[in-house]
Amino acid sequence: MTYVPAVRLTGELHPNPGYPLTVDTVTAHLRSRRLLAAVGQYDLSALARAAGVTEADRSVIIALAATEDERVFVLENGKAQQGLSVAELCAELAAATRANVEISGEYVDANETEIEDTFERGDGADESHSGDRADDDAHGDSGPIVVELPDADDPAPVLIFRGKADLLPMLAKDAESPLETITHGDWTIVGFEDAAADPGRHGWTRSETPVIELSAIGEDRYLTILTSRGALIQGCTLTWQTPTTPVLGDEETFEAITGDHPGLAAVLASLANPHLDPESEMTRLLSDPAFAHIDAHQLATALQLPPDEHWFTRVLTVLELPALAAAVFEAGGFATDGEDSARVTRVEPGGFWASMRAVLQVHDTASPSEIERKGIFGRIYAATVRQPARMLFSIVPELALGSAALAWVATSDHRPWWLIAVGFAGGLAILDAVVDIALMIRRITRQRRGISPRN
């Protein structure tokens, strides 16, 4: 017999006026049905309080162990069995709590259900709801609601990556913020000056990964980790999540529950800690070879510890990343005293050409031995540093191919998108050749003056 795989489903219950909603109420109903679930409740953030949200308005969150075809698991004699559908559970919870229920795309409005029941009973829906309409008319149209937001004082983001100093000018330009940086072992730590800095605009190469961003929005801290070439938005984002409490008997545990459905054990573990969900961001991160050796339960525990000023330190330590970045983030920058302060370098953002000149200057002054460590292309580049004339082996083909590509585009009557792309690539090749010519002339001049490249 083939069993449908187990999955973790999530949902929310939103209270209606006059019907208090508590975790205990939802838990009692789920426990009476022997459903394998967990329940929690959102905390009120400063933003929510500013918007007028009260304790009575707090939603209850629910996590369920279910099959892929959305049949919720029930516990029978210590074994997980398929039970009612998600749609049926939504209707049950709405009737039991008078809350609006939404689980995995299924939605039940308790108010609509109440109206339908009233009509079916023939109790006169107009009379039962006339008071609500009269109350609405008495208040009238009060106009748009104005929310006074709390003052934002979010710290500037901090980055950790394996790139060297040659990318810093372009990084400052892309993020539109001055930055300070320090080398910490094999890592580079960057702290931005402006809270509005956006390092997400910068593109990263494979050799510079993993790239880690520490950021915060209000009271929430976020750790974004990019493990492949691209932008930070493509990475995995880890953050503390509202905890949920398993709905079980006093002496029952998820570990003791058996079942035949594939993935059931992992789904049950995720009910107590959402980061253990097979579809979670943490699981996606640990599937990358760079972090495959990290203990999943240890990391999940660290992520769910209080999201205070020590949260980044705990998580970075488990990930074997430099915890110095957490200290820089929480302090709002590098310390101005101490032994590390002398090693801090400041980089100002500039225009495109200014950033390019700064990048080329870093490349031109770097020692060949340092460049060689960047792989085969680094070794080729180091050879041109020692003997600049070797750059002609790349300059001549780039000029020839780039000129041919531009000529092809210029003489074509019809220019489809791919031909325009060829012309763009040809222009970049010519630009790169011109830059190489400038570097070659500079290096030959330096050598004739008796200035040799550093080893």
Give residue 3's pLDDT.
87
pTM above 0.85, yes or no: no
In 250-391, which residue ranges form alpha helices assigned H by DSSP?
264-272, 281-286, 296-303, 311-318, 324-331, 352-365, 368-372, 376-386
Note whether 215 and 328 are same-domain residues. yes
Average pLDDT on 155-184 reads: 88
CB-based contacts of 216-222 (< 8 A; 24+ apart in sequence): 216/154, 216/155, 216/329, 217/154, 218/45, 218/46, 218/47, 218/152, 218/154, 219/45, 219/46, 219/307, 220/45, 220/307, 221/307, 221/311, 221/312
Residues 190 and 107 in one domain: no
> Where does a domain end: 106, 139, 172?
139
Model pLDDT, residue 413: 84
Confidence check: pLDDT of 256 > 70: yes
Q: Are residues 35 and 176 in the same domain?
A: no
Task: Judge if 129 and 44 occupy the same domain.
Answer: yes
The residue assigned the tokens 């109790």 is: 123
pLDDT at 224: 97
Beta carbons of 94 and 12 less than 8 angstroms apart: no
Name the domain count of the chain: 3
Tokens 């460590």 -> residue = 373
The answer to whether position 256 is within a domain reads: no
Q: Could you say which of 335, 365, 395 is where a domain stops?
A: 365
The model's pLDDT over 275-294, given as tens digits with 9 standing for 90+, comes to 999 999 999 999 999 999 99
DSSP characters for 134-154? Answer: HHHHHH----PPP--PPPP-P
In a domain, 281, yes or no: no
93 and 227 co-located in one domain: no
> What does the DSSP 8-state code read for residue 274?
G
Residues 231 and 337 in one domain: yes
Identify the domain containing residue 319 by its residue range.
Answer: 155-240+305-365
Question: Residue 69's closest CA among 94, 47, 90, 87?
Answer: 87
Residue 273: is its pLDDT beyond 90?
A: yes
Q: What are phi and psi for residue 76, nearest 5 degrees? A: -130, 115
* Span 81-107, average pLDDT: 95
Model confidence at 298: pLDDT above 90? yes
Q: Of the ranges 58-72, 260-274, 291-305, 370-384, which one carries the lowest mean pLDDT score?
A: 370-384
Q: Is 377 within a domain?
A: no
Q: Which two tokens stand for residue 362?
A: 């870093």
Residue 198 maps to a domain: yes
In a domain, 328, yes or no: yes
**Residue 339: its pLDDT value, please?**
65
Which pair of tokens denotes residue 261?
Answer: 């459905």
Q: Is residue 245 part of a domain?
A: no
Give a yes or no: residue 191 inside a domain: yes
**DSSP sequence for 432-451:** HHHHHHHHHHHHHHHHHTT-
Q: Is residue 226 part of a domain?
A: yes
Collapsing DSSP to helix, strand or coil, 268 comes out as: helix
Q: How confident is the model at residue 392 (pLDDT cuts 50, 70, 90)?
A: confident
Residue 279's identity, in one-letter code, is: E
Q: What is the pLDDT of residues 366-391, one digit of tens each?
A: 555 555 555 565 566 666 666 677 77
Confidence of residue 437 (pLDDT cuts 50, 70, 90): confident
pLDDT more than 70, % of the chain = 78
Residues 317 and 213 in one domain: yes
Determine the pLDDT at residue 239. 96
pLDDT at 120 over 60: no
Token reading at 244: 């949920």
User: Residue 291's closest CA among 210, 231, 371, 352?
Assistant: 210
In angstroms, the CA 41 to CA 23 distance is 7
Tokens of 297: 């339960």
- Dist CA 213 CA 225 (whole Å): 7
Assess whether 47 and 126 both reside in one domain: yes
Answer yes or no: do 164 and 49 share one domain: no
Judge whether residue 347 has pLDDT over 90: no
Alpha helices (H) in 176-295, listed in sequence order = 264-272, 281-286
**223 & 354 share domain:** yes
- Do 221 and 309 fall into the same domain? yes
| The last residue of a domain, from among 111, 139, 167 | 139
Q: 165 and 106: one domain?
A: no
Residues of the chain with pLDDT > 90, as a percent, come to: 48
How high is the mean pLDDT of the chain? Answer: 83
